[in-house]
Amino acid sequence: MPRRNVVSYNTLIAAYSRRPHHAHLAFQLLDQLAHESHVPNGSTITSLLQASAAVGDVVLGSSLHAHCAKTGLLDNIRVQTSLLGMYSNCGVVDCAKKVFTAMKDKDCIAWTSIISGYVKNGKILESLELLQNMLEDDVQPNSFTYSLVLNACAKLQDYESGKCVHAQILLSGTCVDLPLHNTMLDMYCSCGDTRSAFDVFLRIGSPDLVSWNSMIGGFAENGDGEKAVEMFVQLRQACSVKPDEYTFAAVIGGTCGFPACNYGRPLHAQTEKAGLMSSAYIGSSLLSMYFSNDDSASTHKIFSSFEHKDAVLWTDMIAGHVRKGESEGALSLFHEMLKEGFSLDSFILSSVLAACADLVTLRQGEMIHSLVLKTGNDAEVCVHSSLVDMYAKNGELSSAAYTFSCLPKCDLMCWNSMLTGYGHHGKAKKAFQVYFKMLKHGLNPDQVTFLSLLAACNHCGLVDESRFFWRNMKERHFRPGPKHYSCIISLLSRAGLWEEAEEMIAESPFADDYMESWRSVLSSCIKNGNLREGIHAAEQILNANAEDSAASVLLTKLYAAAGRWGDVVETRRKMRKSMLEKDPGLSWIEVRNSVRVFSSGEKSQLQLGEVEEVE
């Protein structure tokens, strides 16, 4: 071009600024523009600020801000709005706020830009306050503004604020387009109100795939798997919209609470037919579904089918094994994952530490702790809680306490882990101290807290203290669960307080379906030689389930302790007749940094020399 001017330069700069990988060329053009004695104007600066935001270069953006201050361009509303966007994209929200405050005329675009910046940078509550300020300033939000704020409500799961924003949209007469409808859907689903979400869905004239996916995912995440499947069937019947990988992943995730043959396997077959089995999202959902159905063979088959496994699939596989109590398998998979060179996040480390806690493998746990420090995940609260739990279950209470003290702010899970550790190792008074210290820090206990306290009382035979925490739990309006009842009934039985124990069983709403309480009474009767109460407890269990082998074994021990050998022979005869067989007990031992599992009398998995080496 023989004669270039600011307009021609601006055209090229704007084009380069829209593409992050060409942003550096936009700044080279600025140098040429200045070299040819042209003066950049508001359009030039606006484009260059867009380029700075795209590459996240706050230094370049700040230098442009200084240039505007010198040349008097700060009064340009487009420049001001671009500065807001640049600082927000670069994560410097305080500077964005200063620019916004200095603006004399704040239009809808400026308000929306600052709200967007706050939402992007995790300042959710502040973004809701800004919307309120915007309305008080008589500036009418547009559909994009409302979408931003509804997204903020969804992230916070702030149901009341979300409803208020929805009401404001209706009152203001704002045109509700499809993206805004979809955002409303997501907000209600995130807050657990699928009924209101479905009402919004029905008001959409032509829902797109995002609408369908939000609704199916909403039902699935809120425990209504049947409704999720029903919506999926309706989608398949809607010829205009075809399901994608996210649709299948959502609906499969919603079927985890049902037998695989009902929904999971047919959906798996449809996924294969649609050619979507290479999707990691679908793989993750299928793993969860088959793990919930105790189908280890299918989980391993799906996992093996992925040639390129990402970190999410590895994590799902390891976490699934931990949830199913297959901690040895979880550790084995973790070592394979390390060999593949994957980076470790807080979730995978928490899962593996839970496996170490379950297997009581201190050496493995300490190795994982070193990885936590090496990967910089030591500031994560969930990892700290898992470390405390691992050390506590391994009996290393001093290490657990030190790890606990290193975290500036502990969540309830972390306090519960410390409390449980002390109780499990017979240090009930220490557990009580942790509880009262937790209350002083302003944390409210949950049902896990009280279960740990009752377990500590049970472990140490502290009847009066258990009564105190039982009353405290009810005063805080917690309904005791089956494990809470089992703990206190076991304690009362071992203390010989049979009548009080039976009163507790009668009070428990779980007594008919949860025989553990009667089993605790029966075990205590063996130790205390109370034949009458023991027979009564055994009758309660066997009347509910005549093939309860554990109860029959305990009953023979009770008779043997009382010298009633004829009853011992008769009970064993009935057991043989019913072909009752007690599951073999399993043990494990750590050898050369790996965990070996074996049963009594088994010689194949663990050689004598290796055991001697451990000794």
Residues 6+ apart with CB under 8 A from 67: 40, 45, 73
What is the three-state SS of 304-368? HHCCCCCHHHHHHHHHHHHHCCCHHHHHHHHHHHHHCCCCCCHHHHHHHHHHHHHHCCHHHHHHH
Integer CA distances (angstroms), 179 to 330, 399, 567, in order: 42, 52, 74
Beta bridge partner(s), residue 591? 594
Residue-level pLDDT at 339: 92
DSSP 260: T
468 pLDDT exceeds 90? yes
Integer CA distances (angstroms), 390 to 5, 397, 417, in order: 69, 10, 9
445 near 438, Cβ under 8 Å? yes
Residues 6+ apart with CB under 8 A from 338: none
475 pLDDT exceeds 80? yes
Where residue 615 falls among pLDDT bands split at 50, 70, 90? very low
Residue pLDDT, tens place only, 577-595 = 765 444 555 565 656 666 6
Nearest to 102 by CA among 140, 68, 147: 68
Overall average pLDDT of the 606-614 stretch: 49
Does 317 reside within a domain?
yes
Domain count, the chain: 2
Beta bridge partner(s), residue 586? 599
Where residue 614 falls among pLDDT bands split at 50, 70, 90? very low
425 near 407, Cβ under 8 Å? no
Where residue 388 falls among pLDDT bands split at 50, 70, 90? very high
* Boundary residue ending a domain (83, 105, 127): 105
Nearest to 298 by CA among 285, 307, 308: 285
What tokens appear for 486 in the block?
A: 């089992």
Which of 172-176, 179-183, 431-435 is predicted with the least confidence, judged by mean pLDDT? 172-176
Residue-level pLDDT at 336: 93
String of DSSP letters for 273-314:
HTT-TT-HHHHHHHHHHHHHTT-HHHHHHHHHH-SS--HHHH
482 near 515, Cβ under 8 Å? no
* Boundary residue ending a domain (382, 401, 420): 401
Which of 98-112, 127-141, 306-320, 529-543 is predicted with the least confidence, judged by mean pLDDT? 529-543
Residues 6+ apart with CB under 8 A from 325: 358
Residue pLDDT, tens place only, 294-305 = 898 999 999 999
Does 47 reside within a domain?
yes
605 pLDDT exceeds 60? no
- Cα(494)–Cα(486) distance, rounded to whole angstroms? 12
Handedness of CA 210, 215, 216, 219 (dihedral sign): positive
Does 253 reside within a domain?
no
Q: Which domain holds residue 341?
A: 309-401
Residue-level pLDDT at 2: 55
Amino acid at residue number 294: D
- Residues above pLDDT 70, as percent of the chain: 92
Can you give the pTM of this predicted structure? 0.70
Does 41 reside within a domain?
yes
Does 29 reside within a domain?
yes
> Is 256 in a helix, a strand, or coil?
coil
Residue-level pLDDT at 32: 81
134-166 burial code (b ≥16 CB/10 A, e <16):
beeeebebbbbbbbbbbbbbbebebbebbbbbb
168-189 burial code (b ≥16 CB/10 A, e <16):
bbeeeebebeeebbbbbbbbbb
Compute the mean pLDDT over every residue in the chain, rounded to the nearest whole number. 86
Return the top range by mean pLDDT from 249-253, 342-346, 374-378: 249-253
Residue-level pLDDT at 611: 47
9 near 26, Cβ under 8 Å? no
Does 232 reside within a domain?
no
Residue pLDDT, tens place only, 481-527 = 888 998 998 899 888 888 888 888 888 887 666 677 788 888 888 88
Return the top range by mean pLDDT from 46-60, 562-576, 583-597: 46-60
Does 187 reside within a domain?
no
* Boundary residue ending a domain (374, 401, 428): 401
Does 44 reside within a domain?
yes
Q: Round the CA-based radius of gyration of the chain to a whole number and report it.
A: 32
Residue pLDDT, tens place only, 306-332 = 988 999 999 999 999 999 999 999 999
Overall average pLDDT of the 224-251 stretch: 91
176 near 195, Cβ under 8 Å? no
- Residues above pLDDT 90, as percent of the chain: 49
Overall average pLDDT of the 447-464 stretch: 94
